[in-house]
A and B are shown apart, each in its own frame.
Chain A
Amino acid sequence: MDRSRAGLSLEQAVAEGLGSPSRESPLAADRLASAILDQTPDTVFAKDLVGRYIYINRAGAAACGLSRDAVLGQRDHDLFPREVADSLVAFDRATLAVGGEEIYEESVSINGAMTEHLVTKTPFRDSDGQIIGLIGLVKDITGRKRPEGLGRTDTDRLTDIIELQQAVGTAVMEPSAFMQLIVQRTRDLMGANGAAILLRDGEDLVIRAAAGTTVMGLGLRVPIDRSLVGACFRSNQAVQCDDVQNDPRVRLAACELFQVRSAVVVPLRDGLTTIGVLEAIADVPGFFGESARQTMLLVGGLLSAALARSTAFEANRRLLDERTTTLAALFGSEERLRSAMDAAQIGVWDWDVVGGRITWLGHHEAICGLAPGSFDGRYETFLACVHPEDRPGMEAALTSALASNSEYSHSHRVVWPDGSVHWVLGRGEFRRDPEGHTIRMYGAIMDITDRRVLEHQLLQAQKIEAMGQLAAGIAHEINTPTQYVGDNLHFLQEAFEGLLRVMVVYGDVVEAARAVGVPVAAADAAWKSADGGYLLAEIPRATVQALDGIERVTKIVRAMKEFSHPGGTEAIPVDLNHAIENTIAVSRNEWKYLADMVLELSPDLPPVPCLAGEIQQVILNLIVNAAHAIGDVVAESGGRGTIRISTTVVEGFVEVRVRDSGTGIPLEVRSRVFDPFFTTKDVGRGTGQGLALARDAIVRKHRGSLTFESEVGAGTCFLIRLPLHAPDQPGAES
């Protein structure tokens, strides 16, 4: 099979995969966006590079007096009188040539009636910035004497909403980044002083994202039962406040601080549940009108839907869809296809099921770590690239797609010849002949390793946060009994000292009585039966030991709390020795049966500006790795190993060394120790992410370094170097 035939079949595949333009347009890749656009009273449309309509909303079709299907796929010259079409196309060309927004007014005569329009045209681009078509917005301004600037503002708003939809559609769906995008755009869109997203947390709404004047409120909790945002949340409807000074629902103090005079708030929903609100504020009364409220509802709906489906896998799928769409737009020649695949870094396969041959195009070989042109077209060769653990899952996914005649979509690992592990996502479809026999499978593959790393980091962060909440709760539960156990032990200690003094006097009295012949047998018997001498010696020791125990409980609880709840996201001066001691305390169970812990902590270590939580995680990782390495040695030889942790100051840096007497790292894997997903541990014991994340934390977030020295059979020493002066804290204050 030659390349051009493969290209041709791909063209068909992608074109069919996309469907005809009337089915679903690439612009409104999701139905929600489409539904929103259908709600706007103005015309919204999109054209591809050759001038065919690939999308038009309901109002647009109605304005043309045609059905949507009659418009889609047609050019202006197919639809309108020639002179109208000429002028429309001229503006299209201008827009594409300029590469930016073009706005003009036009008068159109339809059925003898003159209408006036304000038209905005904007090119739209793929994720690499290539123009692949244009979007138009037509607003009917007939008979409307526009107040200065109003028409322009409204147009801007709608254009912005469309842009926002695009941005949301193509964004990597990490909820926080994306909420930030939304609030920023909301603020711009509304011309507001500030905007915020508040999500429910217990009895409160918490500001999770903010832009403008509300930024200083990030993380602030607002009670649901008495606040304007709470009123919106409770009623599940848009709420507007024209002047906070005459509105009993608002909290005036907070308004003053944020300089709020008017506000509009809309609910955010996940299915039927209200999960939070989106708010825009202004520092003058009556700033928001009815159109502002409508706009907010649109954005709120968009955000709700996007939040609901913001799983990472979904994001991957959408990205691949989008790139395939880009391909369609660029289709025309095999060369352009190839350059498009290069740009998108995807690989494409065409599997001739009957002939048993697979053709790879684009980056497919590179994604599997093979040299260009070296793929022999055999399924077995591809299967050999797949990570052995992932082969059954991938084959099951293929079989199931084939059996159910549905789309294949599966992510798995591939192992390159150099041993490095990469994550890929493949999507494809089977084609059948008229008799229903499967004849081909077409599909695309992309490398998603970076995303998997991000996902893992996100997951890790969520785990730590969950653990922090748990630890705070446990600490609270333990601290109360610890308080009164400690108080009572102190009391017993002091009380016994008092009792002892009394006993001494009583003893003297008994002896004096004995001397004068008063019978004291009862006293002697009681003393003997209670073993009085033993009690006098042991009670003080018992209380001291119990107090020591309660002290240790206190320390462990405190260490656990500090370890799991180490504070914010900015670097603050941290007592690194203390952080190391906390980490050792919480990880004791990992190493105490295998190794002795030796600490050589510099007593005059200055505070180090760092993110305590991140550094503790790194040290925890290194301790756990050290314990595992020692465990491998101890399992064979018996006995115990040693973990040695030291801190020193060296010329503007603090150095932390974690040294183990473990197996050492074999020479051949040393270069890959910090690679994501690389692990020598058994399944279930390590994710292969620990050191990759550790390096990221030290190098990227702290501008330090993480290196190691290792000798097989003798052990490994990891060295963390952290700068003493963070970039934003140049030296000590003068």
Chain B
Amino acid sequence: MRRILFVDDEPCILDGLRRLLHRERGEWELLSAASGSAALEEMARGPVDVVLTDMRMPGMDGAALLEQVAQRYPDTIRLVLSGQTDTAAASRAILVAHQFLTKPCAAMEIRTVIDRACALRDLLRSPGLRRIVGGMESLPSAPTVWIALRRALGDEGASVSQISVIIEQDAGLGAKVLQLVNSSFFGQAREISSIAHATTLLGTGTIRALALAEQFFGSGLSPGRGCSLEEERNHALAVARLARHILPGQPAGEAAFTAGLLHDVGKLILAARLPQPFLDDLGEARLRGLPLHRVELSRTNVCHAEVGAYLLGLWGLPHEVVEAVAHHHAPDRVAGGDRRALVAVHVADALVHGISDGPGAIDQRLDSVSVAELGWTGQLPEWQEWASAQQEVDS
């Protein structure tokens, strides 16, 4: 039984939601609180899986409540349902909430968002890990990219396309931009997977305002030992570009680029929050010449792919991106549907590792069955060559 807590100072809203979700009574236990402090009392009585709160309330407002929740119960999923409709309100909320919904929100959408959020928990079964990941407000961003962004934002003449080129180079920046755009505040009819598109929709004014709240883009986060943000960024960018090259000119190619850029964010989280175990795993992987995820899986049954996907899922990123990140080591775990973005990221990751770690790395990683199913086997040498050429250009 999932326990869902609704918080709103308007009793009609609470009653309405309770009635709306009455049919879920077999699976969801619905709780309600008329204020922030009442919500915290409720949570003290027993664990809550999802909190959905209004923003503007007398006394403790929604943002303050969620700050408390993030500190005390980091593995509780934090959602906002607000009648406020300005960008500033959405940006503030998204600092403490995993997702932001606007009133009026269709009945289906509320159900879907809660459902999906709950389903994510199957991805990461360890409550300890969930606490760690749920508490992340942002991802560390690479200093060079952060500096470039700040410089561009300081230039009054900078166009939004110049800025999107910068944001596209960093997982931490890109993920946050997608989180904001995919909040229902923007009322987009469909999910946005392209970082460039998301940046354009926000506009330089909003990006500038976001960059001021430094925790938003994680500029101050320490990457932790054993993890070089610049190296991670280079690898992620190479995978992203190759994934897009594999699916040229298609919407799936943009999703593949984004998933490629974000595929290893789990490493950033683990390095920052569980540095010692992560360092041990990394050392062992090098020693035994194994891919990192194999070592992680043999030790804890969870690898960085699921950790990263869990956070991106919490942030409401499009399903195809979350899925491609979660299963980028083992695309065969996903049966059916459009798997092109997923397999493109998988192939790109394997080929880029082949360039940096030697051809043996490809054999260790590549799921040749999934590649063959899409009829891509014959193109692998060309893609590998393209990736090598790209890396030479970059260096």
Contact = CB atoms under 8 A, between A and B. Distances in A.
Interface of A: 213, 215-221, 253-254, 256-257, 472, 475-477, 479-488, 490-491, 494-495, 550, 554, 558, 561-562, 565, 567-570, 572-573, 728-729, 733
Nearest to B215: A253
B370 to A, nearest CB: 29
A216 B15 contact: no
Interface of B: 10, 12-13, 15-17, 19-20, 22-23, 81, 83-86, 88, 102-107, 150, 153-156, 159-161, 165, 187, 196, 200-201, 203-206, 208-209, 211-212, 214
A487 B107 contact: yes
Given A479-B83, A480-B103, A482-B103, A487 B205 contact: no
Contacts of A220: 209, 212
Given A216-B154, A220-B212, A480-B10, A488 B16 contact: yes
Contacts of B103: 479-480, 482-483
28 contacts: A213-B154, A216-B154, A218-B205, A220-B209, A254-B212, A257-B214, A472-B85, A479-B103, A480-B83, A482-B104, A483-B104, A484-B12, A484-B13, A484-B16, A486-B104, A486-B106, A487-B19, A488-B20, A490-B107, A491-B20, A554-B104, A561-B85, A562-B187, A568-B203, A568-B206, A570-B204, A572-B201, A728-B159
Contact of B105 (A481, A483, A568, A728): A483
A494 B23 contact: yes
B13 A475 contact: no
A570 B19 contact: no
A173 B84 CA distance: 35
B16 A483 contact: yes
By DSSP majority rule, is chain B's interface helix, strand, loop, or mixed?
helix
A216 B212 contact: yes
Given A220-B209, A483-B81, A487-B19, 15 more contacts: A216-B208, A221-B88, A476-B85, A479-B103, A483-B103, A483-B104, A484-B15, A487-B13, A488-B15, A488-B16, A570-B203, A570-B205, A572-B200, A573-B201, A733-B165
Contacts of A495: 19, 22
B208 A476 contact: no
B221 to A, nearest CB: 14
Nearest to A254: B212
Nearest to B12: A484
Given A484-B16, A491-B20, A494-B23, A219 B10 contact: no
A122 B161 CA distance: 44
Nearest to A561: B85
A216 B150 contact: yes
A218 B207 CA distance: 12
A486 B102 CA distance: 14
Nearest to A194: B154
Contact of B160 (A477, A486, A572): A572
A558 B205 CA distance: 22
A702 to B, nearest CB: 15
Contacts of B205: 218-219, 568-570
A219 B203 CA distance: 13
Contact of B153 (A216, A480, A482, A558): A216
Contacts of A561: 85
B15 A572 contact: no
Given A484-B10, A573-B200, A257 B212 contact: yes
Contacts of B153: 216
A205 to B, nearest CB: 14
Given A213-B154, A253-B214, A491 B159 contact: no
Contacts of A219: 205, 208-209
A585 to B, nearest CB: 14
A195 to B, nearest CB: 14
Contacts of B104: 479, 482-483, 486, 550, 554
A440 B9 CA distance: 74
A565 B203 CA distance: 14
B195 to A, nearest CB: 11
Nearest to A475: B85
Nearest to A217: B212
A481 to B, nearest CB: 7
Given A217-B212, A257-B214, A728 B161 contact: yes
Contacts of A487: 13, 16-17, 19-20, 107
B13 A480 contact: yes
A218 B208 contact: yes
B234 to A, nearest CB: 20
A-B interface, 8 closest residue pairs, ranked by CB to CB distance from nearest: A487-B16, A484-B16, A491-B19, A479-B103, A479-B83, A482-B104, A487-B20, A483-B103
Contacts of A488: 15-16, 19-20
A85 to B, nearest CB: 49
A729 B161 CA distance: 7
B322 to A, nearest CB: 24
Nearest to A220: B212
Nearest to A558: B187
Given A484-B10, A488-B16, A568-B205, A215 B156 contact: yes
A481 B10 CA distance: 9
Contacts of B150: 216, 257
